[in-house]
Structure 1
Amino acid sequence: MSPTSAVCSVNDVQGMRKDRTTFHQTLWGDFFLTYQPPTAHKRASMEERAEVLKEEVRELVKAANEIPTILELVMTLQRLGLDNYYENEIDDKLSFVYNSDYDDKDLNLVSLRFYLLRKNGYDVSSDVFKYFEDEEGNFIADDIKSLLSLYNAAYLRTHGEKVLDDAIIFTRRQFEGVIDSLESTLAYEVSLSLQTPLFRRVRILETRNYMPIYEKEAARNEVILEFAKLNFNLLQLLYCEELKKITLWWKQLNVESNLSFIRDRIVEMHFWMTAACPKPEHSRARVIATKATAYITIIDDIMDTYSTTEEAMQLAEAIYRCEKNAAELLPEYMKDFYLYLLKTFDSCEDELGPKQSFRVFYLKEVLKMLIQRSCQEIKWRDENYVPKTINEHLEVSTITIGAFQVACSSFVGMGDIITKEILDWLLTYPDLMKCCTTISRMGNDIVSTEREQTGGHHASTVQCYMLQHGITMHDACEKIQVLIEDTWKDLMKLYLTPTKEPKLIAQTVVDFTRTADYMYNKTDAFTFSHKLKDIIVLLYVEPTFL
């Protein structure tokens, strides 16, 4: 199939759109409107006990003064989702580690040190691993645990770090040869890392998956384990409260808008925002970002799947104007949706309060950027145009994937640390954000291009790469996967580059990138959300009983 043959003519597209309602129905319905987590009646006692345990763990962190102890403790707290309670203490400990004259020959500890320092923003040299590598690119290690630490550390690589590239190739080959003979827990950890290296995992899911692993460790600390379980259960209660409010809002939107053809994925949307912004203090950010994601999804389903070109341009004009009387521009089926959008902007202003209500301006601006690029894609589709290079495509499509808008929406809902200057800077679409959106776009296109090209749709990055290089779809997907890895390297370099912005910005952008990597791993789990059902049950429904 040629890259252009998959793109239908404008007449074909407009003829088929009104009948296309192929998205599966919601898997959840009203479940979270009535669901009461089993731990809800114990909330007060859980919070009281958690406060006691939090301070006991703080004393453990303060008491740690040997580098191996610090590294193991910080890694444990991060994997159990407790590190955000001890950010200052952990910063102090890692500063001590960084400034210490440490030249250990233990590959496991060297790898842990490198991983934790880079993750915390220290641009430490990867040359420390050359000591363990021979001339053939093999690494000397005494056990699989050390190789696993090396493998996970190597994924915090930037461009030109050959020793880390070698480490990934070597360790993957070693794991594939021994995984069937490993004891179950270690085999599970290796398998998980081969699927998604530690640095790229969604944090709240890593917490949920790691607790039963940590519980089996002989060297576990019972205070840390109890606090981790309590903390997770308390977060679960908070997430369920948010989801109840969001579900009510979504139901009202559907009642007023009556858009039967859209993807009904409000639970999955909140899950996505929870995965990217899991901290309890970011509740408002999750709610605002979930609503923003809902509108982005609806607009995408209207403009990309359902509307005619004329209707899409009418919607674009109305959103550019963002005023009630612009609803008169729209076809009947869009008017109520549009008015509900304006109503949501007003409610966000109320929620933010008088000192922060100005932030809603940024919600509107990033949505207008999305609309502008979406109109460009419609033009490509109608003209049967395939961009000549993947870079030409990405200039437009990294905006239309929606990751930029959703991430910016989360910052709108965060606290005073997010200033007007930061929001202005985000509107410039900085390189850090471009890395996130590029990974999101290319990952999405790899898993969805075959499905989307069966009907009227603009060409994806895959079709562009096929045309640019004269190769098959399969080969184009493999090459784009290499580009994704290169973009992760770009992201890591930017992550390690000191800036005037608070660390929260880069950390959140990386978290959104992790969620995109998870959602578009082998399939479009957002559109075909059965893949997410079990993990949503684990996150929202099943507590970690003590």
Structure 2
Amino acid sequence: MAASNVVTPTLAPAKTTGDNGTLDHPARRRYTAMAELAADSNATAAEARASFDTSVWGDFFINYAPELPLQMSEEMMRERANQLKKEVSGLFEPCSENNAVHQMILVDTLQHLSIDHLFKEQIGATLRNIHGSRFSCSSLHEAALKFRLLREHGLWVSTDELVSKFRGDDGSFSPEIANDPRGLLSLYNAAHLFIDGEVELEEAILSTKHHMESLKSSLKSPLAGQVTRALKLPLPRTVKRLEALQYMSEYTDEQTYNPSILELAKLDFNLLQRLHMKELKALSEWWNGVFQEIELSFSRDRVVEVFFWANGIFHEEEYSRARIMLTKIYQLVTTLDDIYDVRATLDDSRKLTKALRRWDIKTVSTLPEYLRKFYLMLLRTFQEIEAELEPKERYRVAYTIEACLLSSNAYLKEAEFVHRNQKPTFEEKLEVSLASFGGKIAAAGILIGMGGAEAPRDAFDWALEGDSSVMAFSRIGRFLNDIASFNSGKNTKDVASSVECYMNQYNVTSEVAIAEIGYLIEDAWKAANQALFEHPGLLPAVQRVNNLSVCMPFSYGGGTDVFTSGKDMKDTVERLFVNPLPL
């Protein structure tokens, strides 16, 4: 099946089967636990929040001075890392039928340890050779690994070979693999790269999950930890750097363990951590000045948490400019969102939206006094970003401003819902709230600081069109965020969430509404997966937006909004950006 023949899934809400609002969807059982969790949380949900918690970080990153692990200078660390990189590069061989499995395992190991960025050319060549070869996998694990690696890299592979490894002659789940935990785990992870219509993979997810649940108590390391984590969140939906930290402690127990690979992974992590710390210091200093200047203390001070997202999108050294620009833009857009949600009257909201559409310093006098400094700061920040871009890149700013205006238009529509006491239908709510979640500004913000080859002009056109992975991100993030908001309670001026709108429209319980919305989240993941094959020339942009989608389950999964609470992310931020790994 060629990539061009892949059918684009429809992201509109699924049709109901009756007046009770129950969606006709094949994977219903997957959301039972989510619905039960929501019901328990809602029973004790806090009443409306008066304001957001202050940042847990304060001036920490402004004042923090990291210590070098084992007294190694950065120069020594880089020199040793370069030596190891050459050694590991020698492990790549011309791909043949005899060594294809070995090469796949090597690629998977480098990805799992988050050092695949050091071997982009070798990995690309290896996977293209595997994609074009005819070698046959001898086990479920091998077939699932091949399937996952190729799809992750935008190389289309059909389910035929994979399905044959877990289906018996009668089409049912093959009983002999029920006691193959490695194969089950590989299939479970691979199946989550499904697209619309691949019912066999949806059934495989349910079957493998059932079998892994029954086997997990008897498993040993490293498989035990990997299965436990996957059952909570499958590998393709796990933040890469967080999984790498887990896997480093398990890798020594793997049969393919190579000490040089592990040492390189630790050195690379520490070197990148030092760079990320410098970026956090600069961003914290910038935001500290901005936050004091604009005097909007009711808004979320979340520059560190926004940087976590930026880091999840692109952690590599060459994307430093991109991380910094995206963090600045998204933090200011977060503040803009809070203005509409928390402070502004409907008249203020209209004036602000009108001023943003004009995007002119002369318009500042039309705004209420408390918004003038923020408006000027927003314009100035975009001017500063434009000055940092190469002359041939500066057209990107206009696209990003346009995306920002689209978000503000959606914020105004939500404000009108609230101030007019309107109760939108689920579909009306969705049309507005998907735009307000900011998929287009996120995509444009991701692209604005990337290299020219990865972010051509047509990538910005694609970002503002808002289809494929951009829309998938908006749906995944919006629905998970709404479920978390419903559980925790909302600001008095927040518009009704999609959960409440669904409950009101179909007269169903929160358990049913959350379960039905969960099926729509799965449809969005299918669309994000399919986007990898829709725009071959824009694959780097698609992959980066999908990386942002992967951050959403961490930020809003389990019915909890750790982005807004801040304190619930503290340990994770410390692991990623503060605590170096022992060498």
Q: For this structure pair, what is the TM-score category when the shorter chain's length is used for normalisation?
A: over 0.9
- Which of 79, 103, 121 is matched with 2:112 structurally? 79
1:500 to partner: Cα distance: 4.9
CA distance in 2, matches of 1:457, 1:247: 28
What is the identity, as a one-letter code, of the residue corresponding to 1:157? F
Secondary structure of the residue that 1:245 maps to in structure 2?
helix
What is the aligned partner in structure 1 of residue 90 from structure 2? Answer: 59
Identify the residue that residue 16 of structure 1 maps to in structure 2.
none
Specify which of 140, 161, 165 is matched with residue 107 of structure 1: 140
Residue 296 of structure 2 aligns to a residue whose secondary structure is: coil
Letter in 2 for 1:34: N
Superposed, which structure 2 residues align to 1:315-334 within 5 Å? 315-334=352-371
The offset of 1:533, in angstroms, is: 0.8
Q: Which residue of 475, 494, 498 maps to 1:457?
A: 494
Q: How far has the Cα of 1:127 moved from its partner? A: 2.0
Shift of 1:207: 1.7
Q: CA deviation at 1:359?
A: 1.8
The residue aligned with 2:474 is 437
**Cα distance in 2, alignment partners of residues 220 and 43 from structure 1:** 26
Q: Which amino acid aligns with 1:160?
A: G
Counterpart for residue 391 of structure 1: 427
Q: Secondary structure at the match of 1:545?
A: coil
Partners of 2:104 and 2:134 in 1: how far apart? 15
Return 95-104 or 486-495, whichever deviates more.
Answer: 95-104
TM-score, normalised to structure 2, is: 0.87
What is the one-letter code of the residue matched to 1:95? R
For 2:342, the equivalent position in structure 1 comes to 305
Q: AA paired with 1:424?
A: D
> Aligned partners of 1:404, 1:518: CA distance in 2, in Å?
21
Relative to 1, partners in 2 of residues 1:139 and 1:438: Cα closer, same or farther, differing over 3 Å? farther
Amino acid of the residue matched to residue 433 of structure 1?
V
**Displacement after TM superposition at 1:295 (Å):** 0.9
1:50 alignment partner, one of 75, 81, 84: 81
* 3-state SS, counterpart of residue 494 of structure 1: helix
Q: Deviation of residue 356 (structure 1)?
A: 2.0
Listed one character per residue, the Cα deviations across residues 1-56 of structure 1 (whole Å, up to 9, x for unaligned) are xx9xxxxxxxxxxxxxxx97421111111111121222286111111221221122
Residue 89 (str. 1) matches residue 122 (str. 2) = yes
Task: Report the alpha carbon displacement of residue 454 of structure 1 after superposing the two structures with TM.
Answer: 6.6
Matched, 1:354 2:391: yes
After superposition, give the CA deviation of every residue in 1:437-465 in whole Å (9 maximum; x if it has no partner).
Answer: 11111111111124445723212211222
CA pair 299-363 structure 1, distance change in 2 beyond 3 A: same
Partners of 1:101 and 1:354 lie apart in 2 by 47
Query: Is the counterpart of residue 382 in structure 1 residue 419 in structure 2?
Result: yes
Contact 1:403 1:436 in 2 (8 A): yes
Offset at residue 273 of structure 1 (A): 0.8
Which consecutive unaligned segments of at least 5 residues does structure 2 have?
A: 1-20, 22-47
Deviates more, 1:420-429 or 1:197-206: 420-429
Match 1:367 to one of 379, 404, 418: 404
- 8 Å CA contact 1:139–1:170 kept in 2: the answer is no
> Counterparts of 2:95 and 2:113 in 1: how far apart (Å)?
18
TM-score, with structure 1 as normaliser: 0.92
Amino acid at match of 1:118: R
Q: Which of 266, 275, 281 is the matching residue for 1:229? A: 266
How far residue 543 of structure 1 moved from its aligned partner, in angstroms, is: 0.9
What whole-Å deviation, never above 9, does each CA across 1:70-97 have from its counterpart, x for those lacking one? Answer: 1110100111111122222212211222
Q: Which residue of 2 aligns with 1:7?
A: none
What SS does structure 2 have at the residue aligned with 1:98? helix
Counterpart in 1 of 2:10? none
Residue 484 of structure 2 is aligned to residue 484 of structure 1: no
CA contact (8 A) 1:158 1:490 kept: yes
Q: Which residue of 2 aligns with 1:209?
A: 246
SS state of the match for residue 347, structure 1? helix
> Is residue 509 from structure 1 mapped to residue 545 from structure 2 by the alignment?
yes
The Cα shift of 1:422 comes to 2.2
The match for 1:293 among 320, 330, 334 is 330
Matched with 2:32 is none
Trace 1:405-444 onto structure 2 (pairs within 5 A): 405-417=441-453, 418-444=455-481
Measured in 2, the distance between the counterparts of 1:257 and 1:513 equals: 30
Match of 1:339 among 355, 368, 376: 376
Counterpart pick for 1:284 among 321, 337, 356: 321
Q: Would you say 1:126 and 2:139 are equivalent positions?
A: no
Q: How does 1:252-267 map to 2 (within 5 A)?
A: 252-267=289-304
Q: In structure 2, what is the equivalent of residue 521 of structure 1?
A: 557
3-state SS of 2:581 partner: coil
- Distance 1:94-1:500 versus aligned 2 partners, 3 A rule: closer
Give the Cα–Cα distance (whole angstroms) in 2 for the partners of residues 391 and 285 of structure 1: 35
Superposed, which structure 2 residues align to 1:241-252 within 5 Å? Answer: 241-252=278-289
1:238 shift after superposition: 0.8
The AA in structure 1 aligned to 2:513 is A
Runs of 5+ unmatched residues, structure 1: 4-18
Q: Structure 2 counterpart of 1:132, which letter?
A: F
Residue 103 of structure 1: how far off its partner (Å): 2.4
The SS at the match of 2:381 is helix
**Shift of the alpha carbon at 1:219?**
2.9
State the distance in 2 between where 1:511 and 1:367 align.
21
User: Structure 1 stretch 335-344 or stretch 62-71: which is displaced more?
Assistant: 62-71
Name the CA shift for 1:101/1:218 in 2 (closer, same or farther; >3 Å).
Answer: closer
Q: Point out the more displaced range, 38-47 or 158-167.
A: 38-47
Structure 1 vs Structure 2 CA RMSD: 2.0
Task: For 1:474 and 1:509, locate their aligned partners in 2 and report how far apart those are by CA, in whole Å.
Answer: 30
CA–CA distance in structure 1, aligned partners of residues 459 and 533 of structure 2: 19
> Does the alignment pair 1:39 with 2:68?
yes
Contact kept? 1:270, 1:290, Cα under 8 Å: yes
Residues 250 and 213 of structure 1: CA distance in aligned 2, closer, same or farther (over 3 Å): same
Identity %: 36
Stretch of structure 1 that moved more, 251-260 or 94-103: 94-103
- How much does 1:406 deviate? 2.1
